Amino acid sequence: MIAALRRRYLDILGSIYIFNEHRGYSSLDRVLEAVRRRHPEATAFIAAVEKHRADEEKHYHMFRRYFEHLGYMPYAADKTCAHIDKMIRLTFGCDIDALDTDAVVASEAMFNRLCRVIILTEKRGMWQVDKLLNMGVIRRERALYQLFKVVERDEPSHWMPYDAWLRAHGGWQPTLGERLADAFVHKSLILWKLPLLFLNPWLKRRTDWQHEHDSIPLKGQPASQAFALQ
């Protein structure tokens, strides 16, 4: 019984993470478009955002390989499990898919706000991974532990460029309202959404992979080869 509960917890945790990693890199396409159009001269910043996107896609495929190694699909998480979606809705008043890229490009205030949302989301992710790496249930799952170690290594480069950009260009650091939104989203996911999924006996598994519907493939080495389960 304990082993079954442990396995279910790990599967649901992995399912939430793989959904968030896919949601993250696909959403960064909008950020990249905004940065390239608003500041085409900022080649170093653009390169940092491109690396951020590539890392998120790499992480997604690492989780995919993890589930393939287990021999089954992740659970069918949705946007209610996505930290970035909830943050965009609370700070911009719309889903990220409905975020007006033209408006973000045209408005310095909106562009800076988007950078702050990314900073908060990525810092929260870094904090959460640190907590997970210290959990016994994760440390005993060697493949998942290795996966989170890779995420831990990559995370600082996912928020520092946006922070440096705002500081260099007079942008405000995250506001109190944005910090409260981040805290609320985190608490709702940990204290409500994850337990709700865990206790749902009708929760179904996915029948396909999210990346199969992507329009922009990962460049370079296939991500499936970027992480070897041991």
- Please report, to the nearest 10 degrees, the dihedral formed by the alpha carbons of residues 202, 207, 213, 217 taken in order: 110
Specify the pLDDT at position 223.
Answer: 41
Q: Give φ, ψ of 75 to 5 degrees.
A: -70, 160
User: For residue 115, which of 175, 57, 202 has the smallest C-alpha distance?
Assistant: 175
pLDDT of residue 218: 44
**Residue 137 pLDDT:** 95
- Domain around 76: 2-211
Identify the pLDDT of residue 225: 41
Q: Distance between CA atoms of 137 and 21, rounded to whole angstroms?
A: 21
| 228 domain residue, yes or no | no
Give the C-alpha distances (Å, rounded to integers) separating 188 from 95, 137, 164, 169, 196: 17, 22, 29, 33, 11
Q: How far is CA 137 from CA 15, 28, 95, 144, 177, in A?
A: 16, 31, 34, 10, 34
CA distances for 48 relative to 26, 35, 83, 152, 207, angstroms: 16, 11, 21, 17, 34
Instruction: Give the pLDDT score at 146.
Output: 97
The CATH number covering residue 167 comes to: 1.20.1260
Amino acid of residue 41: E
Crossing angle of the two packed helices 2-38 and 108-133, in degrees rounded to 10: 150
Instruction: Report yes or no on 84 lying in a domain.
Output: yes
Residue 221 within a domain:
no
DSSP 11-80: HHHHHHHHHHHHHHHHHHHHHHHHHHHH-TT-HHHHHHHHHHHHHHHHHHHHHHHHHHHHTSPPB---GG
What is the overall mean pLDDT for the chain? Answer: 90
In a domain, 74, yes or no: yes
Instruction: Determine, yes or no, domain membership for 230.
Output: no
Q: How many other C-beta atoms lie within 10 A of the C-beta of residue 124?
A: 18
Nearest to 64 by CA among 224, 230, 185, 204: 224
pLDDT at 172: 80
Residues in the chain with pLDDT values less than 70: 216-230
In a domain, 79, yes or no: yes
CA-based Rg of the chain, rounded to a whole angstrom? Answer: 18
Summarize pLDDT for 14-61 with one digit per residue, the tens: 999 999 999 999 999 989 999 999 999 999 999 999 999 999 999 999
Q: Residue 216's pLDDT is what? A: 54
In a domain, 217, yes or no: no
Residue 220 lies in a domain: no
**Tokens read off for 201:** 């006996």
User: What local confidence, expressed as pLDDT, does residue 107 receive?
Assistant: 93
How far apart are the C-alpha atoms of 86 and 109, rounded to whole Å? 20
Number of domains in the chain: 1
